[in-house]
């Protein structure tokens, strides 16, 4: 979901690895251990929660989280919570990274000290304020100065304990006085509209002095005065109202002008609680990758995009723009992610991967090492399998992975690691049964393998067989090195990274999955001496169970099927695929003639066939909506029910209103529901952004409940994976990479020149580049550098234009926006340098 700016779309995303915490403070009870979990928050809105790690002061989480960020934010925060025996949660500490500081820690494992948390420091939101100083003539004819303070509105206040009933107090404070006034309480909103004016007498009546707004005697005192605006949440709890944030403004800001109006970020209150040292609370290891893409309209990217898309047709492929990107990036993965998405979007992934794979096969000398390195080919195929094969994994592995996680059967076969009371033979039998079942479900899943993966495997098989004609097994190992080694085995080992489980498994389950993954990987490798491939003797002994020809035959039959060019597409027998599930709150749809339309928590489940909800996971569905009955899925305006993160599923006869847990969850549900219903023939083109309440639509005031919508539906996401990608965004990312590695592009140009002119030994600094045809590569490099230069100028011009139009203190950039202050400094330096 992009934030629209003038002629530009801005995408924000974050990828987080939550490693571990260490040296947490001991629990005050006799046990001293804690049961802790970690949350990820955008400001104070929780968007992800790890599992609970029990009885540890150094909990290891090992969890990954990725999300598209659908709104602006100031801090990315991480809270460590402790759950006690009464299932009550208390905060141990937090890490809060300001948005403008995220690049400092980009893709680096970093230990952060946990900071103390109290209500006075937990602040978010902004306030719109107007100050006006005026001279008033009293009844006796003398002049005094009065200050009018107008509190207009607030945006984005935090929700405290599920509710927000805000009010503001306005205080004029000085060395010898303090006068406070209060607004009305606004119920059930975190965007209150106050629009209230308060008057304060600033100076005592005196004779008028034209040299100053203030009497000379009062000038110093006025300079020491300030207006303080405090935001509070009106609470019914006995311990009082909750502090939401404050703003302090010195009155000397009115010396230049008698009127002052602006937006301000609310600030935390300094309560003097500095007793705890930062390292008293322990630390947290994180790896954060925050990305912000500024995407122009499609025509800006045409030259670079066209150059990239013709990569498969360039001879040799090492001279193509896509291959060059792989050469200059520090890690091949950096290049592979946007390249695969771009080629998938335009339906050119198979010819591109075929071309780079064929070139790699030609450079390979030993058939036993084919596709074993971290080359651009390997990383591109990995990324394609992740994108195209996610549903395939859900169908094959998810049911049995869920069973392993739930049953916790003991499968430890290392005699040294056996626990008291465990039987080695029983454990071996448990493990053998799991391996047998997973092996069978994989080798019988050939008909479900996505077509794009099969087409790539066919190309790999043909290239390998042609290159190593004397090796009859290379046609299998070329494919098995991906489907087993890089797809099924990693998914079994780390199911959370492939969306098969929500969290990293517990240590015992993780050990079971490790043993299964090792065995499946070896079964799929078709190596000649399989027992010898294990370092551990207990694994070699266990593998004797599978030293039968039927296992090798099953692998070969499976590999033949998924790499066959004439493979039939079995969409007609497609089984339901679970796409997403989880608890949300829904409003009664009015299916019963009588009864209250109240809100209830339900377990929602979406497959490619239907959208259902039930009381709890595993219960019989209370309602089932066939996918073909979903006419539109859109956001619902907050004012409808005074509830955030709501969306609507529009059906032929009624609308289902749903509240998600947070903004990220709401976006995910809207996207996937839209995607799965995109091809419905009766999809709507217009909808109502607000609810139908009290006999009329809140948005357009129409009284008939069947009145056609008043707002165009959003475009949504096409159902086809090749189109479920923003091609312009991926091209922008590739431009950013080329721009980042410009010195390497220029070095590669030098290497081409050196190779063309000198036919002698290669200089060491150039030896890292693969250059098969210096002239063709030089030509491509020249086009890349020109295309990147043009886009760089467009971005610079956009920033200059934005800088001229932007006002500090506007709603978009309130006073206190440190990222904008930094941006102003940068632009001022650029302007001064250009002058």
Can you tell me the mean pLDDT for 9-23? 94
Predicted confidence at residue 365, as pLDDT, reads 86
Q: Please give the Cα distance from 85 to 35 (Å, whole number).
A: 9
Predicted confidence at residue 317, as pLDDT, reads 94
Contact in structure between 479 and 563 (CB atoms under 8 Å): yes
Domain annotation for the chain: domains and CATH numbers: 3-116+284-290 (2.60.40.150), 126-206+221-265 (2.60.40.150), 377-563 (1.10.506.10), 578-589+596-607+609-712 (2.30.29.30)
Predicted confidence at residue 49, as pLDDT, reads 93
Structure token digits, residue 225: 């005065």
Contact in structure between 209 and 215 (CB atoms under 8 Å): yes
Q: Please give the Cα distance from 106 to 290 (Å, whole number).
A: 7
Question: 611 has which bridge partners?
Answer: 606, 625
Model confidence at 719, pLDDT cuts 50, 70, 90, reads very low
Cα 1–chain centre separation: 11
Question: 76 has which bridge partners?
Answer: 42, 97
Neighbours of 321 (CB within 10 A): 23
- Rounded to the nearest 5°, which phi and psi values hold at 21? -110, 155
Can you tell me the mean pLDDT for 261-284? 74
Predicted confidence at residue 650, as pLDDT, reads 94
Q: Please give the Cα distance from 711 to 533 (Å, whole number).
A: 63
> What is the edge-to-edge ordering of all strands in the sheet holding 242-250?
177-182, 166-174, 226-233, 242-250
Count Cα atoms within 13 angstroms, Cβ side, for 218: 20
Q: Please give the Cα distance from 198 to 183 (Å, whole number).
A: 9
Nearest to 502 by CA among 401, 407, 585: 401
Predicted confidence at residue 6, as pLDDT, reads 64
Contact in structure between 511 and 412 (CB atoms under 8 Å): yes
Model confidence at 78, pLDDT cuts 50, 70, 90, reads very high
pLDDT in tens, 195-242: 999 998 887 655 444 444 444 345 556 677 889 999 999 876 666 788
Chain length of the chain:
835
At residue 604, does pLDDT exceed 90?
yes
Q: Please give the Cα distance from 563 to 474 (Å, whole number).
A: 13
Q: Which helix (H) or strand (E) holds 293?
A: strand 283-295
Predicted confidence at residue 804, as pLDDT, reads 82
Model confidence at 356, pLDDT cuts 50, 70, 90, reads very high
Structure token digits, residue 381: 């195929």
At residue 741, does pLDDT exceed 60?
yes
The burial of 60, by beta-carbon neighbours within 10 Å (0-12 exposed, 13-18 middle, 19 or more buried), is given as: middle
At residue 269, does pLDDT exceed 90?
no
Alpha-helical (H) ranges within 271-331 are 302-309, 321-328
Predicted confidence at residue 276, as pLDDT, reads 46
Query: Where are the extended beta strands (E) located within 632-706?
Result: 632-635, 646-650, 655-659, 686-687, 692-693, 696-697
């Amino acid at each position: 979901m992009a934030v629209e700016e003038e002629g530009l779309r801005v995408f924000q995303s974050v990828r987080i690895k939550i490693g571990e915490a260490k040296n947490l403070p001991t629990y005050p009870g006799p046990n001293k251990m804690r049961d802790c979990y970690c949350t990820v928050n955008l400001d104070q809105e929780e968007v992800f929660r790890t599992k609970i790690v029990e009885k540890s002061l150094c909990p290891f989480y090992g969890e990954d989280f990725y999300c598209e960020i659908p709104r602006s934010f100031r801090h990315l925060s991480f809270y460590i919570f402790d759950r006690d025996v009464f299932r009550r949660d208390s905060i141990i500490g937090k890490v809060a990274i300001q948005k403008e500081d995220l690049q400092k820690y980009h893709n680096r494992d970093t230990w952060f000290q946990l900071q103390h948390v109290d209500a006075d420091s937990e602040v978010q939101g902004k306030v719109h304020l107007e100050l006006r100083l005026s001279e008033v003539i009293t009844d006796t004819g003398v002049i005094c100065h009065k200050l009018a303070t107008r509190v207009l509105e607030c945006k984005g206040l935090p929700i405290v304990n599920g509710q927000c009933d805000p009010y503001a107090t306005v205080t004029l404070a000085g060395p010898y006085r303090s006068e406070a006034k209060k607004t009305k309480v606004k119920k059930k909103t975190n965007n209150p509209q106050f629009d209230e004016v308060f008057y304060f007498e600033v100076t005592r009546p005196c004779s008028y002095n034209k040299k100053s707004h203030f009497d000379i005697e009062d000038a110093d005192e006025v300079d020491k005065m300030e207006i303080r605006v405090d935001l509070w949440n009106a609470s019914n709890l006995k311990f009082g109202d909750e502090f939401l944030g404050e703003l302090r403004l010195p009155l000397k800001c009115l010396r230049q002008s008698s009127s002052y109006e602006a937006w301000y970020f609310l600030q935390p209150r300094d309560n003097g609680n500095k007793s705890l040292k930062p390292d008293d609370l322990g630390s947290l290891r994180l790896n954060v990758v925050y990305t912000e893409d500024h995407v122009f309209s499609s025509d800006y990217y045409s030259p670079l995009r066209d150059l990239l898309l013709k990569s498969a047709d360039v001879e040799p492929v090492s001279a193509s723009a896509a291959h060059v990107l792989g050469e200059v990036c520090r890690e091949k993965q950096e290049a592979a992610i946007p390249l695969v998405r771009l080629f998938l979007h335009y339906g050119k992934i198979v010819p591109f991967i075929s071309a780079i794979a064929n070139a790699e096969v030609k450079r390979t000398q030993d058939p036993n090492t084919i596709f074993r390195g971290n080359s651009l080919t390997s990383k591109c195929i990995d990324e394609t399998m992740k994108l195209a094969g996610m549903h395939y994994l859900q169908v094959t592995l998810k049911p049995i992975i869920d069973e392993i996680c739930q049953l916790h059967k003991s499968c430890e076969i290392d005699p040294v690691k056996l626990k008291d009371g465990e039987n080695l033979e029983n454990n071996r039998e448990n493990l053998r049964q799991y391996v047998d079942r997973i092996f069978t479900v994989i080798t019988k899943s050939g008909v479900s393998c996505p077509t794009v993966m099969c087409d790539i495997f066919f190309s790999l098989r043909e290239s390998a067989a042609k290159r190593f004609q004397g090796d009859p097994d290379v046609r299998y190992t070329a494919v098995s090195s991906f489907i087993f080694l890089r797809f099924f085995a990693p998914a079994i080992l780390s199911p959370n990274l492939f969306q098969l489980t929500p969290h990293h498994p517990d240590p015992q389950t993780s050990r079971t999955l490790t043993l299964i993954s090792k065995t499946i990987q070896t079964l799929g490798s078709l190596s000649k001496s399989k027992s010898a491939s294990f370092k551990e003797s207990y694994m070699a002994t266990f593998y004797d169970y599978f030293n039968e020809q039927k296992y090798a035959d099953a692998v070969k039959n499976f590999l033949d099927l998924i790499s066959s060019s004439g493979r039939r597409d079995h969409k007609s027998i497609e089984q339901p695929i679970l796409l997403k599930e989880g608890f949300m709150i829904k409003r009664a749809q009015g299916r019963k003639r009588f009864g209250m339309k109240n809100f209830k928590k339900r377990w929602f489940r979406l497959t490619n066939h239907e959208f259902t909800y039930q009381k709890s996971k595993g219960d019989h569905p209370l309602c089932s909506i066939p996918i073909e009955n979903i006419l539109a899925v859109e956001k619902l305006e907050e004012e409808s029910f005074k509830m955030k993160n709501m969306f609507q599923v529009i059906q032929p006869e009624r609308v289902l209103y749903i509240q998600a847990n947070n903004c990220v969850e709401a976006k995910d549900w809207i996207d996937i529901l839209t995607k799965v219903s995109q091809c419905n023939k009766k999809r709507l083109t217009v909808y109502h952004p607000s609810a139908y309440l009290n006999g009329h639509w809140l948005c357009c005031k129409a009284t008939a409940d069947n009145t056609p919508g008043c707002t165009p539906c959003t475009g949504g996401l096409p159902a086809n994976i090749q189109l479920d990608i923003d091609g312009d965004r991926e091209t922008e990312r590739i431009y950013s990479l080329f721009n980042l590695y410009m010195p390497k592009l220029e070095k590669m140009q030098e290497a081409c020149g050196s190779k063309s002119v000198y036919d002698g030994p290669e200089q060491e600094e150039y030896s890292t580049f693969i250059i098969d045809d210096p002239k063709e590569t030089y030509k491509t490099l020249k086009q890349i550098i020109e295309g990147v230069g043009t886009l760089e100028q467009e971005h610079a011009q956009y920033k200059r234009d934005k800088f001229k139009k932007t006002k500090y203190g506007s709603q978009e950039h309130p006073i206190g926006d440190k990222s904008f202050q930094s941006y102003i400094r940068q632009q001022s330096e650029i302007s001064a340098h250009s002058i």
